[in-house]
Amino acid sequence: MMQFQYSRASDSAEAVSLAGGRPEVRFLGGGTNLVDLMRETIENPSSLVDVTGLSQQILTLQDGGILIGAAAKNTAVAADWNVRARFPMLARAILNGASGQIRNMATVAGNIMQRTRCYYFYDDASHCNKRAPGDGCDALEGFNRIHAILGASPACVATHPSDMCVALAALDAVVHLESANGRRVLNINELHRLPGDAPHIETELAPGELITAVEIPACSFAVNSTYRKVRDRASYAFALVSVAAALEVSDEGSIRDVRLALGGVAHKPWRARKAEAALRGAPATEAVFLAAADAELKDARGLRHNAFKIELAKRVIVACLGELRRSKVQGDANGHGSNGHGREGT
């Protein structure tokens, strides 16, 4: 039996103080990932600080953005009318993750900080640099179907498992943090790290630094957005490849603006900036979508069992952008500017 201390914080200041900047302390959200890791003795914290008492509010900001408290449940965020109306890709991404029961427990902060689903990471009989730095990586020559094709290193080829974070990356979400050194904000695209030679360091958070909220800045064309996830089972499975996309097309048919991020392909949610650059200002045609997908995946490297993800990622990008282009055309024909996803919550 592993012994640990348990305490419950009523607000962020108390949580930070209880954690005391100690690396052996963990914040406890819904526990849907952390408790599993403790049962398997992959995580052995000396102390848990329960942060489910932090804000669960989902506030609409005056400029059209949304501020989500760190302890808001995944279910509540996906069901929020403003999230569904303004950022449909986010609601869809969350609903594509886990199961209803898990989403009822899981918090926004816990979702962001959840750890990889690499089989070898969960098996303490395997070699894993993330679990034990310098130990080696059994996934490199093992069964690596779910592993990374972008941004990986010889030390680690794991992927970040979150669906929600892929949408947050596309939306340039800003994460609010608090520690003994004060408060700061970090774009979600800078929060998670690529593995490099230190895959055990997964984020830019300091020990004991707390996520207090996630802010989604206003993005008018995100009303025309979607999330698509390809996986081995229809539900209750992590992404092989996923895509979060938003598209703004002018009346003349050129791409005014676009947001694109990929999941299941890298150690962090992968913002597809090369594809976005290739798309902005170009005609919204399938040939352009494909060229942009090619540009993004140019540096992708497949392993023995996952090379199929490279072509799959391209196809999902093209399919999502095609869907959003058609929605825009249908929206115009029906006399409104969006694809109608925005009315899901009504």
Ligand X SMILES: Cc1cc2nc3c(=O)[nH]c(=O)nc-3n(C[C@H](O)[C@H](O)[C@H](O)COP(=O)(O)OP(=O)(O)OC[C@H]3O[C@@H](n4cnc5c(N)ncnc54)[C@H](O)[C@@H]3O)c2cc1C
Structure tokens belonging to residue 122: 């969960």
Interaction partner, residue 189 (ligand X, ligand SF4, none; CB < 5-8 Å by kind): none
Strands 5-8 and 47-50: parallel
x/- map, 192-231, ligand SF4, by CB under 6 A: -------x--------------------------------
Contacts with 72 (C-beta within 8 Å, 6 or more apart), sequence order: 55, 56, 57, 58, 107, 108
| Window 255 to 294, contacts with ligand X (CB under 6 A) | none
Strands 174-179 and 182-187: antiparallel
Interaction partner, residue 130 (ligand SF4, ligand X, none; CB < 5-8 Å by kind): ligand SF4
- Residue 316's region, left for phi above 0, alpha for psi from -120 to 50, else beta, is alpha
Structure tokens belonging to residue 237: 């499975």
Is there binding between residue 33 and ligand X (CB under 6 A)? yes
Is there binding between residue 110 and ligand X (CB under 6 A)? yes
Is there binding between residue 186 and ligand X (CB under 6 A)? no
Do the Cβ atoms of 324 and 245 come closer than 8 Å? yes
User: With 0-12 CB in 10 A as exposed, 13-18 as middle and 19+ as buried, what is 202?
Assistant: buried
255 forms beta bridges with: 249
3-class DSSP assignment, residue 344? coil
Interaction partner, residue 217 (ligand SF4, ligand X, none; CB < 5-8 Å by kind): none
**How is 89-116 classified by DSSP, letter by letter?**
HHHHHHHTSS-HHHHHH-BHHHHHHPPP
Is there binding between residue 210 and ligand X (CB under 6 A)? yes
For 120, 127, 129, 145, 225, the CA distances from 154, given in Å and listed in that order, are: 15, 13, 10, 16, 35
Is there binding between residue 238 and ligand X (CB under 6 A)? yes
Closest CB 125 distance from ligand SF4, rounded Å: 12
Interaction partner, residue 106 (ligand X, ligand SF4, none; CB < 5-8 Å by kind): ligand X
Closest CB 237 distance from ligand SF4, rounded Å: 18
Closest CB 42 distance from ligand SF4, rounded Å: 10
Interaction partner, residue 33 (ligand X, ligand SF4, none; CB < 5-8 Å by kind): ligand X
Closest CB 191 distance from ligand SF4, rounded Å: 19
Is there binding between residue 120 and ligand SF4 (CB under 6 A)? yes
Helices (H), the chain: 12-19, 34-39, 74-79, 81-86, 88-95, 100-105, 108-113, 119-122, 164-170, 188-191, 273-279, 286-297, 308-333
Query: Which residue in 9, 16, 19, 34 binds ligand X (CB under 6 A)?
Result: 34
Is there binding between residue 26 and ligand X (CB under 6 A)? yes
Query: Which residue in 128, 146, 168, 265 binds ligand SF4 (CB under 6 A)?
Result: 128
Site residue total, ligand X (CB under 6 A): 30
Is there binding between residue 163 and ligand X (CB under 6 A)? yes
Is there binding between residue 157 and ligand SF4 (CB under 6 A)? yes
Which stretches of the chain bind ligand SF4, using CB under 6 A? 116, 118, 120-121, 128-130, 137-139, 156-158, 199
- Interaction site with ligand X (CB under 6 A): 26-34, 51, 70, 97-98, 102, 105-107, 109-111, 113-114, 161-164, 210-211, 236, 238
